[in-house]
Chains A and B, each alone.
Chain A
Amino acid sequence: MQPDYAIETKDLGRIYKIRGPKHKGDAKELIALNGATLQVERGELFGLLGPNGAGKTTLIKILSTLLLPTSGSAFVEGMDVTRDVQEIRRRITVVSGGETSGYGLLTIEENLWMFARFYGLDSATARRRIDDLLNVVGILDRKRTKISDLSTGLRQKMNFVRGFISDPSMVFLDEPTLGLDVTAAREVRNFVKEWLRNNTSRTILLTTHYMAEADELCDRLAIVDRGRVLACDTPENLKRRLQREAVFNLKVGRLGHKPDKSAMIESISGVQQVTVSEQNDHTELNLILAEESVLGSVLSHLTQRGSNLISLEKREPTLEDVFIQLVGRRLDEDTSHTTGGDNG
Chain B
Amino acid sequence: MSMMQRVMDTPLVRRSNALRSFLTAAWLGWQIESNWADPFLFAVYSIARPVGSILILVMMYTVITNGATQEPIFAYIYLGNALYILVGQVISGVSWVIIDDREHYRTLRQLHTTPMNGYFYLMGRGVARMLVGLVSLVITIGFGVIAFRLPITLAGINWPLFIASTVLGIISLATIGLIIGSITLMLARHFWSVGDAISGALYLFSGAIFPLDILPAVLRPVGFIFPVTYWLELARRALLGPSHPTFPTLAAYSNEHLLLILAVISAVLVGFSGYIYNRALHLAKERGVFDMETSH
Question: Is residue B213 contacting chain A, with contact meaning CB distance below 8 A?
Answer: no
Report Cα–Cα, A68/B290, bound state, in Å.
Answer: 10
Please, how many angstroms separate the alpha-carbon atoms of A101 and B102 in the complex? 9
Residues of A within 8 A of B112 (CB): 65-66
A105 neighbours in B (Cβ, 8 Å): 31-32, 35
B257: interface (CB < 8 Å):
no
Q: How far is the CA of A50 from the CA of B112 in the complex (A)?
A: 26
**Please, how many angstroms separate the alpha-carbon atoms of A328 and B1 in the complex?**
56
- What CA separation (Å) do A114 and B107 show in the bound complex? 12
Contact A67 B1 (CB under 8 A): no
Expressed in whole angstroms, the Cα–Cα distance for A102 and B108 within the complex equals 10
Question: Chain A interface mostly helix, strand, loop or mixed?
Answer: mixed
Q: Say whether A162 faces chain B, with CB atoms less than 8 Å apart.
A: yes
Query: CB distance A66 to B32 under 8 Å?
Result: no
Is B66 interfacial (CB 8 A cutoff)?
no
Q: Which of B79-130 contact A (CB under 8 A)?
A: 105-107, 109-116
Expressed in whole angstroms, the Cα–Cα distance for A64 and B113 within the complex equals 6
Residue of A nearest to B16 (CB): A120
Query: Which of the candidate stretches B46-54, B166-174, B281-289 sits at the interface with the other chain?
Result: B281-289
| CA gap between A104 and B286 in the complex, in Å | 30
**A residues near B105, Cβ cutoff 8 Å:** 101-104
**B5 to A118, Cβ gap below 8 A?**
no
Chain A 109-126 interface 0/1 with B at a Cβ cutoff of 8 Å (1 = within): 010011101111011100
Q: Hey, which chain A residues are within 8 Å of B287, CB to CB?
A: 17
Say whether B115 contacts A115, CB under 8 Å: no
| B31:A118 contact, CB within 8 angstroms | no
Is residue B270 contacting chain A, with contact meaning CB distance below 8 A? Answer: no
Asked whether B115 lies within 8 Å of A94 as measured between CB atoms, the reply is no
A122 to B290, CA, bound (A): 30
A93 an interface residue at 8 Å Cβ cutoff? yes
Kindly state whether residue A280 has any CB partner on chain B within 8 Å.
no
Task: Report yes or no: A100 in contact with B106, Cβ–Cβ below 8 A.
Answer: yes
Give the residue of A17, A93, A94, A103 whose beta carbon is less than 8 angstroms from that of B31: A103
Find the B residue at minimum CB distance from A103. Answer: B105
Q: Say whether B196 faces chain A, with CB atoms less than 8 Å apart.
A: no
> Is there an interface contact between A115 and B110, defined as CB atoms closer than 8 Å?
yes
B290 lies within 8 A of A67 (CB): yes
> B189 on the interface (CB 8 Å rule)?
no
Within the complex, the shortest CB–CB distance from A339 to chain B, in Å, comes to 15
Closest Cβ neighbor of A64 among chain B residues: B113
- A interface residues, tally (CB under 8 Å): 37
**Interface-forming stretch among A84-92, A215-223, A285-293, A316-324?**
A84-92
A118–B285 touching, CB < 8 Å: no
Which residues in B have their C-beta under 8 angstroms from that of A119? 114-115
Q: How far is the CA of A105 from the CA of B31 in the complex (A)?
A: 8
Chain B residues with CB below 8 A from A110, complex form: 1, 31
Chain B residues closer than 8 Å to A255, beta-carbon distance? none
What is the chain A residue whose CB lies nearest that of B14? A122
Q: Are A114 and B28 in contact (CB under 8 A)?
A: yes
Q: Give chain B residues whose Cβ lies under 8 Å from the Cβ of A117.
A: 8, 20, 24
Choose one: B17, B27, B110; the contact of A162 (CB below 8 Å): B110
- Whether A86 contacts B115 by the Cβ 8 Å rule is yes
Q: Known: A101-B105, A120-B20, A123-B5. Is A106-B31 also a contact (CB below 8 A)? A: yes
Partner of B115, one of A101, A113, A114, A118: A118
Least Cβ–Cβ distance between B10 and chain A, in angstroms: 10
Centre residue among B17, B107, B114, B285 by max chain A CB count within 10 A: B114
A5 within 8 A of B: no
Please give the distance in Å from A53's CB to the nearest CB on chain B: 14
A16 close to chain B: CB less than 8 A = yes
Interface members, chain B 42-91 (any A CB < 8 Å) = none
CB-based contact A120/B27 at 8 Å: no
Q: Which 6 A-B pairs have the closest CB atoms?
A: A101-B106, A118-B114, A118-B116, A89-B115, A117-B24, A123-B5
Chain A residues in contact with chain B, CB under 8 A? 14, 16-17, 64-68, 86, 89-90, 92-94, 96, 99-106, 110, 113-115, 117-120, 122-124, 159, 162, 166
Q: Apart from A101-B109, A118-B111, A122-B9, what are 8 other A-B pairs with CB-CB below 8 Å?
A: A65-B112, A68-B282, A102-B106, A110-B1, A110-B31, A119-B115, A120-B20, A159-B110
A selection of 6 A-B contacts at a CB cut-off of 8 Å is: A66-B113, A66-B290, A100-B106, A101-B106, A102-B107, A120-B20
